[in-house]
Amino acid sequence: MQSFGSPAGMQLFIFQTADHPLSLPVQLATNRAHKAKLIQRPHLPDSGEEAFRQVSWWLTLFAQQLQANNQKDAYLVVIDIPLWSEFKQGRRFMRIDVEPPIDQEAPVIALTKATLYSVANGLLSFEEAKEQNLIMSTY
Domain membership flag for residue 72: yes
pLDDT one-digit tens code per residue, 23-53: 999 999 999 999 999 998 888 776 788 889 9
Percent of the chain with pLDDT over 70: 86
pTM of the model: 0.84
Q: Is residue 130 part of a domain?
A: yes
12 belongs to a structural domain: no
Q: Give me the pLDDT at residue 119, please.
A: 95
* Structural domain span for residue 57: 17-137
What is the CATH classification number for the domain harbouring 129? Answer: 3.30.1050
Angle (nearest 5°) at CA 84 between 78 and 90: 100
- Give the residue among 138, 110, 137, 86 at the shortest CA–CA distance from 19: 110
Give the per-residue pLDDT at 13: 44
pLDDT > 90? residue 7: no
Q: Is 29 exposed, middle or buried (0-12, 13-18, 19+ CB in 10 A)?
A: buried
Has residue 5 been placed in a domain? no
Q: 136-137 and 2-5 as β-strands: parallel, antiparallel, unpaired?
A: unpaired
- Per-residue pLDDT tens over the stretch 99-121: 999 998 999 999 999 999 999 99
